[in-house]
Amino acid sequence: MSSKQKERAASHAGSWYSDEAPELERQLDRWLSQVEVRHGPARAIIAPHAGYRYSGAVSAYAFRQISPVLVKRIFILGPSHHVRLGGCALTSLREYATPLYSLVVDQQVCAELYATGHFETMSVTADEEEHSIEMMLPFIARVMDRFRDQVTIVPILVGSLTVEREAMYGRVMSHYLADPTCLFVISSDFCHWGQRFRYTPQLDRNSFNGPIYRWIQELDQQGMDLIEAQSTSGFSDYLKKTGNTICGRHPISVLLQAMSYLQRQQQQLHQQSSSGGSSSGGSSNSSSPGPPILEMKLKFLQYAQSNNCSSNSDSSVSYAAAALTMH
């Protein structure tokens, strides 16, 4: 790679999705047109990152909830599939190419994140090999088309984080989540079932007697319920107990931690304001209502599997779409 390279190539175009702009536009428009705005405007979404022939229709349920007129910055959190990473990494490039047009990386926000001391830089090779972030880009480009000149992106590669590091990155991200002009795109597939994924847990036939694909759906539903409940500890315990192969579990957990931290901050401010305390050290006999606390609702909108597994020789990947609103 040239040391002067400034743009990330659309390395999976032509294989995972179309590299022809007119065809890609038609596909994206068709999927998006088949979905209604049911839970928007979204402040964050969860969308799958498989090839579009498998997951494009599901992804549309998440991206359709975005109100492009409100969005200025888009944070894209994708799990690392190829590079061992104990934290999070940012890109060294200035633009990300798509077959539609190039998306501009927000250099100011990247500098702010580097200043925290908690982010490293991914190599160009690692950047272009990773598909979890790239598979979000064509949808982003299409949804933001009319406002392409006003939007920037912040791609973040998320490694295998400890619970403590998920909380730390959540605190960092909460500042941006509080900004209504910022959108978070969380890239994740759900259960990867099959011998090729090294995940074929023994089913307890005393409690479940249905086909494997139904068991997978129930397993994923348990995780989705905990995510909707915004239970950081519950989701973490569920992953430890089941070992469910949700590849974006760490980006999802960072979002949940950011939401939790933001809610705690708001509750503290509300209590301080309502207490009628005085910064001058005096007392006050009156109290005023604190600032309203944002109501956060995270809701799953669609779910599908790539294949209906009926035996341990089968394999499948699950796809789910969700949106977060804050009012």
Decide: residue 324, CB within 10 A, 0-12 exposed, 13-18 middle, 19+ buried. Answer: buried
Note the pLDDT tens digit of each residue in 41-57. 999 999 999 999 999 99
The residue-averaged pLDDT of 299-316 equals 96
* pLDDT of residue 229 exceeding 60: yes
- Domain 33-258+294-326 has what CATH class? alpha beta
Question: How high does pLDDT run on average in the chain?
Answer: 93
pLDDT value at position 276?
Answer: 61
Note the pLDDT tens digit of each residue in 138-166. 999 999 999 999 999 999 999 999 999 99
Note the pLDDT tens digit of each residue in 246-299. 999 999 999 999 999 999 998 887 777 766 654 444 445 555 565 667 899 999
Contact yes or no for 178/75 (Cβ under 8 A): no
Q: Where are the domains of the chain?
A: 33-258+294-326
Of the given ranges (18-27, 35-44, 181-190, 287-296), which has the lowest mean pLDDT?
287-296
pLDDT value at position 293?
Answer: 76
pTM of the model: 0.93
133 or 274, higher pLDDT: 133
> Residue 5: pLDDT band by 50, 70, 90 thresholds?
confident
Tokens of residue 31, six digits = 């999927």
